[in-house]
Every structure is written in structure tokens, then in C-alpha cells.
Structure 1
Amino acid sequence: MDLYQHFREEEYPFIDQVLSWRDEVTHHYVSRLTDFLHPREQRIFKSLIGHDETLQLEFFGAWDDAERKRAILTPFYEEITQGSFEVELLQAHFPEKFVSIEHRDVLGAFLSAGIQRKKLGDIAINDGYIQIVVAKDITTYLTTNVTSIKKANVQFQPTPFSKLAASNNEWVEYSATCSSLRLDVLIKEMYQVSRQQALDLIRKGYVKVNFQTIEQAAYVLEEGDMLSVRGKGRTRLKELQGKTKKDKQRITFEKLL
């Protein structure tokens, strides 16, 4: 059976990469550490490795509910520790009485400094402090080159994981019934907009599925997909719960507050 038939065409390069890592670990008995993977990539990785008893696959993103995590694939006999993931927790303070900093501001500052998204994990902002998990090999560059966010001067410093702040992720679960799993249909249902408004958002490039801009209204979502709409937040399709007697799809989805 062709395993590619279970995935989307745009995911084929990542599948090839995972299969290459698997072969390398299996035949050369080495470990492979990835950059930070988003949830869909993690799901694909797990499904391709399956229950192979000669291998072990672990993920780490610091927070229990972290979205982005590094993965390590090793022979079954290797010991995997937190240090195996080669990540660092960085923290910076900002004067929250004078400036409001959000997740997008922090990420924008990093990307503007030439840092690749795949080198960055999740970001938490609490009580005037920013925390971010990063690949250890960019720590020096990041602390040197990211010294301001919006109008605030910041200085990121390595911080022990024992000082990890609470996660900002708060998801609320909803149930719904929809006519199909098309992108426009699900935007209409999840964000409570009209079908025409959903189409406009898609055509303007305001919609991402698994962090990739999608401009096809007929694009079909799958269980576990992350959906984000500019200005309206993020949702994820948690579970498909079968069809109704009228052949409509029952779904459970979560929305990030």
C-alpha cells in the first residue's frame, strides 16, 4: 500500500525527510534531532514510526501542552534526557505598565532579526515577563540581536526550566454539525461568520491551516488540523464523531481564548 495516499501532497517532502531519518537511525545506529515541529508534523512523525520496537521517538517543548516541539529519534537502547533535545529557556522582562506585548509582537521581533521559525518553540507572556523555548545553537545570536520589542527594550537571558511560567494556552471545546469538512464550511461554523465572509477571508490570504496559508475554499481539513484566521484567532479540529442520519459531519473543535 502506498503510504503517501494517507497524506496531502504538500506533506510529501516532510514524509520523505522522516523516512530518511528512520532509515539512518535504523541502519547506522545514530540519533536524529529535529527542529521544532508543529502539531501536524508531530502527528505525521508518530504515524510513520508507528510501534517499531527497534526505535524510540520522543518530543519536548517544555510546557506539557506545548504546540511546537523538537523530536528525537534514536535506537531503542539509547537514553533520552531533557538535555538530548538541546533546547534553552530564555526570559526577558518588559514594563507592562507602559507597553502591551503580545505573542505576535515577540515572534515578529525574532523573525525580523533573521531567526527561522523552526528554531523557536512556544512563547509565554505573563506578568511582564516573556519566556520562549529555543534551539540552543541560536541562543547567543538571539540574545545579541533581539534587544527591543515594540517600544520596549528587552534583554533575553537563559533561565532554568524550573522557573517555567504557566502556559498561556487555554482552549475551549465545542461540538457542531456541518455539511462537509471544506475550509469555507468549517470557518463559517467555527468562527460564526457567513459563508461569503468565510470565502472573502480565504481569498485575501487571511487563513492558515497548519501554519500554511490556504487560498482554496474547497480544501478539506482532517482531524487534528490547526486553523487560524487573521484577527479572529485559532481553532483546531479535535475529533470527527461520525455522520448524522442526514449525512452531516459531527465534529468537536477547540478554540484558543
Structure 2
Amino acid sequence: MDLVEAVYSGDAKQVTPFLTGAMLEWAERVLRKEHLSFMSEGGFPEAERVRILLGPWGEALNSKDADIALLWVRSLDSRAQLEHRQILGSLMALGFKRDVLGDIQAGLGGFYVASTTEIAPFIINQWTQAGREKIEVSLFSEKPIVNADQGEERRITVSSSRLDAVVANAFGTSRTAAQEWITQGKVRRDGVVVSKAETEVQPDNLISCRGYGRIKLLECSQTRKDRTAWQIVLFRSQRH
């Protein structure tokens, strides 16, 4: 709302930090009620984390004004396999907040990282290690070629549609482990951290488990043994 007021006050275009899916949905609902132009940009096609660019009503907006830099990071050891959590964890260790970083997507031999243009030079100069791996970081100016993430469609049966039951079955872990992930804040539903294991899930929910992958819930039905069958797409965390 401060950014909206800044536009009304004549400060021209404004841009938000990187937003999660839930925050993006809320922000867009608010902005639809305001007499403004706005668009979202994340640096990748169908990005999950995006910035919203807003300006006076009728003003043409350009995605370049979202001030997003794409960085390319790869291990100096060609035999090493970088992981998403290594990359994010090492960036957090540099003192960055999550809202200045967008999606982290795997490419051939490395990862693309979206960041604000403001912090990109610092990352390039100071970010030298991810986990135990020495890395090389550079600015990427071409169209990113990310690895296809088709996912694995499967059918699972659970005793109920509780979050912990679905997560445990989908990832092949124990119900206790799934509950620990939830308690530790590792599980999100449609971009929002869920803290209660008994939360009921619904068709079209996207469940993400940090470090393990994502689950897209398609449809559910009841079995003859009074259990719940879910058709899901499982996207496991990739290593590169």
C-alpha cells in the first residue's frame, strides 16, 4: 500500500520485493481495486516468485523495469552435484532476505538464480561457495534454458486428506517425519507455510516440501475400503 501511495504521489513506477504465490494473489486483489497499471515479472516463464511493477493508470509497463537480474551459478568441480538447498542456504548465509531472491531453477550443469539488480554485483563478487562446493557466478543475459520438470503422475491412497498423510505417502516417508517437516516450517500450501499437520488439502493445491520437492493435487475419490485416493503429480527436488 505504501507503493500504491507513492505512485499516486507522483513517484512514477514502483516495484515490490519478490512475492510468494499467496502474497501475489493478495496483492493483485488489492491492486485490481486501485486505479493503477500493474504487471508481474519473475525472470523466468511461469515463475513462482515474482515482483509486481506498478505505475499510473494507462502507463505502459516494461518487464525490464522490474529490475531483475538472472545469475548463472555452477560448481568448479565438474563431478559435483549442486542442490537447490545448498544454493539458497549459502545465499541466506551472506545475509540476504528471501524477498530479494526469486526462483532458483536448474539448468544444464548449473542453476539460474533470479535476484534484484541491486544486489546482483555483490552476489557475483562475494558468493564463492555453496555448501562445500566452490562455485563460479556470472550474470546471465540470454534466455534461460531450464531443465524440463515434467513430474511423475501417480495415484496414492490415504486414510484421510490431512496434510501429513498426503505428504508422507507422496514422498514415501513416515507420518512422523512428515509432521516434523510441517512443525519445522518446511511445508507450504500454495506458497503459504502450514503449521498444522491436520490441515485438509484440496484439489489444485500445490504442496511444496523444502529440500524434497512439490506435489500438485489433481483430484480425489473414495475407495471401496473407505480410504481416499488422490491423483497427484510429484516433482522431486533435482540435483545438478
Q: TM-score range by the shorter chain?
A: 0.7 to 0.9
| Equivalences, count | 233
Uncovered stretches (5+) of structure 2, i.e. residues with no partner: none
Once the two structures are TM-superposed, the CA of residue 146 in structure 1 deviates from its matched residue by 0.4
Map 1:20-99 → 2, pairs under 5 A: 20-22=2-4, 24-25=6-7, 27-28=8-9, 30-50=12-32, 52=33, 54-99=35-80
TM-score norm. by structure 1 comes to: 0.71
Query: Which amino acid is 1:164 matched to?
Result: P
Q: Which residue of 2 aligns with 1:115?
A: 96
Map 1:223-238 → 2, pairs under 5 A: 225-229=205-209, 232-237=212-217
Greater helix percent: which structure? 1
Once the two structures are TM-superposed, the CA of residue 163 in structure 1 deviates from its matched residue by 4.1
Once the two structures are TM-superposed, the CA of residue 135 in structure 1 deviates from its matched residue by 0.1
Q: Which residue of 2 aligns with 1:11?
A: none
Query: Which amino acid is 1:86 matched to?
Result: D
Q: Which residue of 2 aligns with 1:105?
A: 86
- Cα distance in 1, alignment partners of residues 200 and 97 from structure 2: 28
Uncovered stretches (5+) of structure 1, i.e. residues with no partner: 1-18
Tell me: CA distance 1:163–1:228, structure 2 relative to 1, closer, same or farther (3 Å).
closer
Query: Which amino acid is 1:98 matched to?
Result: R
- Cα distance in 1, alignment partners of residues 182 and 92 from structure 2: 24
Query: Which amino acid is 2:119 matched to?
Result: I
* Cα deviation code 1:42-75 (max 9, x no counterpart): 222233334x583232111122122111111222
Task: Report if aligned partners of 2:76, 2:135 keep a CA contact under 8 Å in 1.
Answer: no
Tell me: CA distance 1:143–1:201, structure 2 relative to 1, closer, same or farther (3 Å).
closer
1:125 pairs with 2:106:
yes
Question: Which moves more between the two structures, 171-180 or 217-226?
Answer: 171-180
Question: Higher relative contact order by CA 8 Å / sep ≥ 6: 1 or 2?
Answer: 2
- Cα distance in 2, alignment partners of residues 28 and 250 from structure 1: 54
Question: Which moves more between the two structures, 139-148 or 215-224?
Answer: 215-224
Aligned to 2:123, the other structure's residue is in SS state helix
